[in-house]
Structure 1
Amino acid sequence: MSDGGLNVTLRPQTARVLKRLAANPGQLVTKNDLLNSVWTDTHVTDDSLVQCISEIRRALGPSNSKLLVTVPKHGYKLMASPGHNFEAEVKSGLSARQNQKRLRNAFFVATAAVVLLVAGTILYLRPLDTTLDGPVTLAVLPFANLSENTGQEYLSVGLAEDLLTDLSHNNELTVLSRSATFSYRQFDDAAEKIREELGASHIIDGSVQRDRERIRISVQLVDTSTGATVWAERFDREIGELFDLQDDLRERILGELLAEFGLNEAYAARPADVRAYEMLLQGRYFEASLTHSGVVEAIELYKRAIDIDPSYGDAYARLANMYDFMSRYGWSASAEGDRALALEMAERATRLDPENPFAHWSLARILSRVDGSNESAARAINHLEHAITLEPDYPDAYAFLALLKIGNGEYDASRNSIEKAFGLNQKPPSWYIRNRGIISYFEGNYDAAIVDFTMSAEMNPTAHFSRIWLAAALARAGQTEDAEWELEEALALGAPDTVDAILRSNELIRDPSLRSEYSEGLRAAGVPD
């Protein structure tokens, strides 16, 4: 199978587990069934099966790993259509693009509003609030890449992302988040779906075509209530005039929609050279894969952007996050060295571009984990609050601030912050949901915590963070067998294996009583000291 363009070879046992699951699409396959059918003549422990499940999820990749669902105390489900030949796909090593296309056709995806079967109990997930304020609610779709070179997709996606960011700085305009809208690109009736599901009054759709040093962008503004095109225009420019083109595009859209409102120009400073910006767009494209290879590629591209323009604050902020990823996920030769580089790059970003909210968010994120001290945590909170001052509707800042606040034992402030984040991001990522679960855990609402940790784990099954928290919450709720199951999965995914090691990896939880509460949940789940 392929993940982010890299072929993944499965071990024979793992391929047999996958074959068994694929032969029963959407059906529960019990642990005993898998153990007996795959290891017919050999006795193995449950750990062998868990390792195979983890390997299959890594092979499916970040976008599709959630389709392999764990049903605690019972077994697993592969949410695929009948007749899909996974075994052939494993052997052929399809490219990422081919694999994703086939998966889209073969799978049906469970959304965050579905009912989860957990430990035999139906847990109804809390619906997201899609009530939107303001005279205009705007959704931006990723632009279609019409260039002959498919490698130019970073440009079409990046331009749409930056248009979304620029438009969101107008306080009279509600702009839906990237995570809420970009997945609608695949639908022919995107305008109708976005209106019904997200409440958008207008969408921006377009395409990008590049031919060497010339670029053509076609854009249309659509009224979702009627499907009518309010405005459409085509821009033909030299690639060196890209910034002027972006300014024209933003002002034309705002001019059509909001003639009575003023423009807000408080967006991140641009580099002196458009080539640096192009390197940044390419880096963001690779960064989004959340794979080791993607992060390594992004680092090199951000470095090239800085070589072209040493004063490019946004590139330093992006580079800081990549070094932090390398350190946190065990991808670096020296975790301590990469952590120091991350801090250095993030601090430089805020000095070079002090009005850039993302730079302050990046620095806060790194400071919060650098040494676990109260001083670093206080600095992190200050930078997050400054990011919110610069951009009052910055959902990521509120979501991360919520975690820092609960770490200090500030229950009300933490709950208010996470609710603000969910109100601003209509399709929150898994880490928002995990943070909300952590707050519920420390509030003693273990049932709500279990719902959120389960949802977060299913959204990002290859990460162990949510499963460790889920194990602790299940144990505190008296569901010890389920907790042991989740702990097995977390350990197979590389989670720390002692209470002390887990606490060291959660330095954000600083309040002694909360650390004690978390420790008790871990011990009850079976984690040794």
Structure 2
Amino acid sequence: MPAVRRLAAILAADVAGYSRLMGADEEGTHERLKAHRRELVEPKIAEHSGRIVKTTGDGLLAEFASVVDAVRYAAEVQRAMIDREAGIPEDRRIRFRIGINLGDIIVEEDDIFGDGVNVAARLEALAEPDGICISRVVRDQIRDRLAYAFEDLGEQSVKNIARPVRVYALRPEAIAGLPTPSLPSASQIVPAAVAPRLSIVVLPFANLSNDPDQQYFADGITEDLTTDLSRIPDMFVISRNTAFTYQGKRVETKQVGRELGVRYVLEGSFRRLGNQIRVNAQLIDAETDAHLWAERFDGDMGDLFALQTEITSRIAVALGYELLSAEAARPTERPDVLDYILRARAANERSPSRDRNAEVIRLYERALALDPRSAEAQAGLAGILANNVLDDMTETAAVDMAHAEFLAGQALAAAPRSPGVHWAKGQILRAQRRYIEAIPEYEAVLASNRNSARALFCLGQCKLFAGLIEETIPLIERAIRLSPRDPRPGAWYSTIGMVHLLRSRTDEAVTWLEKARNTTPLHAQIRAQLAAAYALSGETERAAAELAEARRLSCDDRYTSLARLQAVLSYWGVPKVRALFEATYFTGLRLAGMAEQ
């Protein structure tokens, strides 16, 4: 399974003097530690949307999507432990030491690796019993958000880390002065009661073929889906090793959800009939047992590896949409930052319109009102503001672009490797017609998530205007195969149509541009493109009607004359592409009745 990189808050914890405690009272120490983990440590991790990566005899390694959640979790656990061990003789007390770092990690199978993990472990070693140590980058992120009295310990040289680490400590005395946190009730100790949002397990796909030797294909789909889903932002995916413990067992979905602490379960089957393969998959809500989505995928055995990749990619893309919709639909009395971000993403899956864009902007702005430094919300808002300009759905393009660039700059400083930040930068550069510069941004998104259909489309469009015209259609056709029910296919179809138009394949251009108009009827640019294609095909009346619609739908007067449109599009693409536009698109608009001035 290929490794995945992402930014995460890493928490390392151990029990101070564990060997001494076990030597003094092995059975008592072991039982108390088990109770602390079951009743406090593990439920609190789920409550704060974290994930236990692994445990050792006396410690654990966990990751959190939010550094604020990680620090708040550590403080609450340490404060609760002071009370839980208060009746134990001081020399027998279980005392945790906790270290927290924020950094880039490599996720592989059940484990995480990288310099960020090593720093967290070294910080843990520096912490006092009942204390917490954090790195400077963590301190910078929580400074204005959490009122904990961290003490600056200065630069510390630590083992196997080349550079000194600036360390901040929350001492036991400061933790003891914190309010006693609410402890999980008996029902909350069940993991499913606090299952993280966007949490899922991919159960092993059943082999319904008569040949048990075909099991490898079903297992391959399970493994690839686990990997592909883990690439979706904010997704919490149970590892394949844990998922495969359910192979061959008949278990209820609710039971799986409770045991693994997940909200969703994906299950499916594989069947081979001659040279044909059929894969069925269904998404189930683990809390209600409701079936949220089901799909069937067919293929032939010609190239098994390619077929497996195609099927798993299409399932992963479809699930990304379905999971966002399911999360956005969940009732929440007090939405937090992630709630608003997930709702914004779900709204962004709808077909483009002014109302849709306004709703996405409003949701991201609410997220930023709660956490002004959320890089995810900053990048999301920057991207949709750029979309407003790209879709010709704003009267304040200059203001929108300036704000988008400011937000993207902040997000880049906080999370330079985030796919969402690369996406926002790509959208901004594309809106500024800086297509060659945008190409590596979309390639970075695809390096993180090969199944990003929209990144494939945007990359294809940039290739078109960069003069790499013949590379455009294969990229966009791949996007359409991955996401055949995408809510905004109009731009995809229109770009393919424009490639045909520029290559003077007018009949193919009309076919694709009609599909674009039929799926996205309120898009002025698509209407103008279809007007040009109709005119070049000799259908001047239909061309004039489409041009009139383009004028009506546009936010400005660009479609009133060729001079105005050419001024707007003067920096579209390299000279070769601009020459093709003049010979086809602009010629067609003249024939449709657009005035020169």
Which structure would you say has the larger RCO, counting Cα contacts within 8 Å and 6 or more residues apart? 1
Which structure has the highest strand share of the two?
Answer: 2
